[in-house]
Amino acid sequence: MTDITFTDQNFQEEVLNSPLPVLVDFWAPWCGPCKIVGPIVEELAKDYAGKVKVGKLNVDENQNVSSQFGIMSIPSLMLFKAGQPVKTMVGAQGKESFKKGIDEVLASA
């Protein structure tokens, strides 16, 4: 599991105020596709260490943030840059698809 767990309480500090881009995995323990995406998110955390902060947010336990950003389907991976959501990837996808999305955001000024 990724080292960082985002919550309603720490989201402002950990995500919105982060100097690095942040990838948030919106998930729930009962979600089958989330279990498929979980190991991919862990690999992405290693691949982008020092470039992107990666963490998970349990939507059942943190409904304020989930509703604030309109999370309707999980898994949803949302990339934040300078405190703003800049890309959302919904559903179970392959690692290369997620990497493409992250690389697009990192390449943008």
Give CATH for domain 4-107. 3.40.30.10
pLDDT over 60 (residue 49): yes
Positions marked catalytic: 31, 34
Per domain, the residue ranges of the chain are 4-107
Q: Which residue has the tokens 């999980």?
A: 74
pLDDT over 60 (residue 67): yes
Please classify residue 83 by burial: count the beta carbons closer than 10 Å to its beta carbon, then call 0-12 exposed, 13-18 middle and 19+ buried.
exposed
d(CA 97, CA 64): 28
Q: Which pLDDT score, from 0 to 100, does residue 46 have?
A: 96
69-95 residue pLDDT tens: 999 999 999 999 999 999 999 999 999
pLDDT over 60 (residue 2): no
